[in-house]
Structure 1
């Protein structure tokens, strides 16, 4: 369930976000939302920190430091409208390179920051052997963050709200546990550990937007659809308001809606295209949507089979409207989304994305012939394979 906003953008307290990562996704998602909130009267700024040693990332961070704004090109369909527009994003007011500006990162984190945002990839929470918050400038994001939080604690400053955007279930809980482990191993300071859990606010979030390309020297091309779902946590004050930023009681239904509608639809298209032998003739999602054996059947399957099942399990999730957005996104004339890319780890995706919906349907006494047909070859293959080889 989405919570009703209680404050307008102008009435929220000023917010300063420290953003770890300057990749194109954050540039066209959180940073764009923040820029639009600023235009609506919100008092929010973002300090971007390039965390890795990649030359391309350093170059992008330097370009951000020199520019007062950068472009985001929105191209695609939304709410029935074909959109091709370029926006100027001005929410990043400072850009720092961790390896070069670590003292400034420290000073800013201790004195100015209210919220932390990150998008460091699914492997971004890994800490390499030998890395530590005790290093002059740690290598990994979690070690860097732990050192900064300790410095803020030692400065007797209040905690911060952490809103990670990595695509992990309970991303905030996972990050918190990694940071607590590093803090315990590195500092042996029970008061600091208590501060981390009691004064800092660890906020799970879910992001959804396709950012298809970079613009040089800095900028991005993205679809018009965007979602940042943020779970309500005690002590959380949102950094800004935006129509595509949803404060929700529980992220679970939103994660399952994405998994069992958007992701399911992608995997179903691959399964059906393989059955028809048209993967090479129709290599793109938008091309597949133009073929009634694929696009027409997909739409019928989503509306007639999957939506009723999920609506029974997760009522009040606006599933019909979400399917409308999926169809528009899949038909985006500017997006070259390759079916062969979606087909990676196909068998595991069938088990994770499609099979649970069929299990729900069986419990509800429903038949889902179109969805079941996509799983049928996989089911036959696994049944015919000796257990030791699975």
Structure 2
């Protein structure tokens, strides 16, 4: 039996990850408190993971949860506890489909998602199933129901760490619609012309979950959203930015922040410090590791990236990254960063080497990382 969800829960958030709880939901909560917006969030658990289901059930009953911000930002120590009250309810898609579909059709205005590494996988899925197994399949079925009811197009703001995430999601949804709703050209036209698919880039380290629901996060945060005509955002916040082009933000994050993580892991392993150091903050406090990181960023990475981006923005972001990595309260495990190391080297480091080579810049330390990564294939 479908239950009633508050009509103001017009932001449909697919995913119960601690990241979304400490990032998007926190922005929406602050926007509500400041009187900048009036939209709340309906959280939807899309996978079969029991941990996610447990969090969705908790959000359906308690409606608020704690967010603990700890660290430094702009040279200032921050240790703050916030109560996040932007979530109006929680649903489990596999168990509450009728409720989700009705609310999506009648009240949704925005879709936000962060469905993990396999979130865009659609193998062997069908939108014609009672409840599709994949996130894109579920989304396509919901959009079809909304269109059939005469609903307006939505704004989709995916937060998955995928290049051009909204355009990729749009391709998947339109492809599923063409296959499973063949002949419904009006629906395809509606998806492509009436829905707004906005690429986004997110940046915040949310290091731990709180029980039964909540998160511990660093003070730094960014939600950059690529602007387009007619785009409306679900909230207003200093860390939510409309930008004309996501490329500079994506390059800085991937090739400064993410590259620095991967370089630290390489030197941590190379020095045989796996049993002595556990966290990024400990690596930053180890003089030899920090000096190596500082040297490679200043002499190899920034000169290479400066062939495409403004040097002063790179240097400012470098300083922010080092401040964030040194956060004494953040238990960011080097062993977690070390997972899929070879693949991360290819994405984070090899493009910088290629940029440098085309500009005649030598990158011996980066090349050393790539050579060593072959041992982790």
Match of 1:376?
A: 368
Distance 2:95 2:269 in 1: 50
Specify every segment of 5 or more residues in structure 1 that has no aligned partner in the other structure, as ranges. Answer: 1-13
Out of 155, 168, 177, the residue aligned to residue 174 of structure 1 is 168
Q: 1:28 aligns with which of 16, 22, 28?
A: 22
Q: Distance in 2 between matches of 1:364 and 1:77?
A: 36
TM-score normalised by L of structure 1: 0.87
- Cα distance in 2, alignment partners of residues 263 and 160 from structure 1: 32
Report the CA distance between 1:213 and its aligned residue. Answer: 1.4
Alpha carbons of structure 1 residues 377 and 194: separation in structure 2 relative to 1, 3 Å: closer
Number of paired residues? 367
C-alpha change, 1:59 and 1:358, in structure 2 (3 Å) is closer
Distance 1:235 1:74, change over 3 A: same
SS in 2 for 1:212: strand
Q: 1:180-259 counterparts in 2 under 5 A?
A: 180-188=174-182, 189-259=184-254
Question: Which of 106, 109, 112 lines up with 1:114 in the alignment?
Answer: 109
Could you tell me which runs of 5 or more consecutive residues in structure 2 were left unpaired when the two chains were aligned.
1-7
Determine the C-alpha separation between the residues in 2 that align with 1:339 and 1:356: 23
Task: Decide which of 269, 273, 288 is 1:293's aligned counterpart.
Answer: 288
Counterpart CA distance in 2 for 1:352 and 1:98 is 33
Residue 158 of structure 1 deviates from its aligned partner by: 1.1
Counterpart mapping for 1:330-345 below 5 A: 330-345=325-340
Structure 1 residues 332-354: Cα deviation after superposition (integer angstroms, max 9, x where no partner): 21222232332333333333322
Do structure 1's residue 311 and structure 2's residue 303 form an aligned pair? no
Give the whole-Å Cα distance in 1 for the aligned partners of 2:49 and 2:275.
35
Structure-2 separation of matches of 1:258 and 1:155: 41
Q: Deviations over 1:296-342 (max 9, x none)?
A: 33224324542243233112772222112211221121222232332
User: What's the CA shift string for 1:63-112, capped at 9, x where partnerless?
Assistant: 11222411111122211122221100011112222233222211211111
Question: Whole-Å Cα distance in 1 between the matches of residues 120 and 369 of structure 2?
Answer: 37
The residue that corresponds to 2:4 in the other structure is none
Q: Return the offset for 1:38.
A: 1.0
How has the CA–CA distance of structure 1 residues 348 and 151 changed in structure 2, closer, same or farther, with 3 Å as cutoff?
A: closer
What's the counterpart of residue 134 of structure 1? 128
- Per the alignment, do residues 316 and 45 of structure 1 end up closer, same or farther by CA in structure 2, a change over 3 Å counting? farther
How many angstroms apart in 1 are the aligned matches of 2:154 and 2:191?
9
Measured after TM superposition, the shift of residue 380 of structure 1 is 8.3
Kindly indicate whether the alpha-carbon contact (under 8 Å) linking 2:119 and 2:135 is maintained by their aligned counterparts in 1.
yes
Compute the RMSD of aligned alpha carbons: 2.3
Which structure 1 residue ranges, 4+ long, deviate > 6 Å from structure 2?
none
Report whether the alignment pairs 1:53 with 2:48: yes
Q: Is the 8 A contact 2:65 2:214 kept in 1?
A: yes
**Do the aligned residues in 2 keep the contact of 1:18 with 1:116 (CA within 8 Å)?**
yes
Q: Distance in 2 between matches of 1:381 and 1:334?
A: 30
SS in 2 for 1:44: coil
